[in-house]
Amino acid sequence: MKELKMCSTTFLMRVVSTLSRTKKLNWLPFFIFHFSFFILSGFSQVNPKLQSKLDTQAKEIEPKVIEWRRHIHQYPELSVNEFKTAAYVAEHLKKLGIEVQTGVAKTGVVGLLETGKPGPVIALRADMDALPVLERSNLPFASKEKAIYNGQEVGVMHACGHDSHVAILMGVAEILVKNKSDLKGMIKFIFQPAEEGGPVGEDRGANLMVKEGVLKNPNVDVIFGLHISSGTPIGVISYKAGGSAAANDDFYIKVKGRQAHGSSPWSGVDPIMVSSEIIMGLQTIISRQSDLTNEAAVITVGRFNSGIRENIIPEEANFSGTIRTLDTVMQKSIHERIRRTATKIAESAGATAEVYIEQQELVTFNDPSLTEKMLPSLRKAVGPDNVVNVKAGTGAEDFSFYQKKVPGLFFSVGAMPADKTKAGSHHTPDFYIDESGFITGVKAMLDLTVDYMYLKK
């Protein structure tokens, strides 16, 4: 892209020189304005009439996107259980005339739109699963669903916005089908299950979809994905080239002690007390043993389970949590320190500790060349002042498994209510997004898709 811009600048200088010699300077302002727009737009060859149609249709489909999102929000499903959501999506794609494959990675749906003309294969991804969170809102379409998770009944809620991702991609698919005659190549619509996790020790989500060949037959050239953000203003798109989100590893620690009566703890080995010391020790790995001037890192314990009665010191305690890293060397070091900290603290108390660490997501890595190439498309969707380059975060995304195989761009779309400076954060009962932000996602995905078709040689 830089080389193209340099060549174009040289060409522009020669034209200006020629116009000066022929004394036709009255054409100069007109020529400079239109040629400069051509350069700054990233050499998009999209027909202006097509672009106008896409913009109009994005606005027209907004009510449908909101309707779809509300339906999905009202009936959320946990990871690997997205049966109703998958059927809802598949029915929509089939009505559009798109070739549909179901049961991918257990509950995933993949649609393929063939334009009949040679061109790139572009994949667009939306995740479908919800979280074990009890919704705390007064929305008329609030979730009332419940499910069994880790052996206990829980509320189920789209507390991370995956319902909006699905609805946005459904809208994008409908618009692209309407404009099939103006497109080239193929488009894969990937509706993915289990981004939030799955059974321990089993492949799931993007990782399993890749293993089952979602990026092949036909081979995908590039993939785009988005995530709604309750903390970003409406109409704003944020991105980062290179590493943009953290690797995520889950850890599980089992501490075995010796059961005793609560009145005489000296006669046993208390696994709850030992586990508490281990949990405190894990925090020193971050605060005292990791070079945070290099990259950020996080260890969080999110679950603890032990005991059945107040006056019995139990035999065993189990707890688990998440590790977030942005650097592979730090990641390996933290894993080793977790194992050492847990086993040595347990040993010092006469207990034993078993540590299991499972990879969940890789570092989400936006291909720098692709990101630079597609920035004009994002800017076209919302205006240049509303596309913001941000620092890497410690959130994680299994979109990273697609990016390991093909160039990918993953970005965030703002949906923070205009009357708030802070909205309920993701993964909480108070999570809330403004639906007027959805059109930003629709326009961005449309512009990325169509522009890439015409930029790809």
CA distance linking residue 202 with residue 221, whole number of Å: 28
CA distance linking residue 16 with residue 8, whole number of Å: 12
> Can you tell me which residue has the tokens 């949590």?
321
| CB neighbour burial string for 241-261, b if at least 16 within 10 angstroms, e if fewer | bebbbbbbbbbbbbbbbeebe
At residue 104, what is the residue type? V
Q: Is 447 an active-site residue? A: no
Q: Is 195 an active-site residue? A: yes
Helix (H) or strand (E) segment spanning residue 153: strand 152-155
DSSP β-bridge partners for residue 189 = 111, 124
| CB neighbour burial string for 328-337, b if at least 16 within 10 angstroms, e if fewer | eebbebbbeb
Catalytic residue among 82, 129, 367, 434: 129
Q: Treating both helix axes as pointing N-terminal to C-terminal, what angle do 48-74 and 438-455 enclose, rounded to 10 degrees?
A: 140
Query: DSSP string spanning 171-230?
Result: HHHHHHHHTGGG--SEEEEEEE--TT--STTS--HHHHHHHTTTTTTTTPSEEEEEEEEE
CA distance linking residue 179 with residue 182, whole number of Å: 6
Catalytic residue among 82, 135, 163, 195: 195
The sheet carrying 237-239 orders its strands as 99-104, 108-114, 186-192, 121-127, 222-233, 408-416, 237-239, 387-389
What are the CA-CA distances from residue 445 to residues 109, 216, 226, 227 (Å)? 18, 21, 8, 11
Active site residue ranges:
129, 195
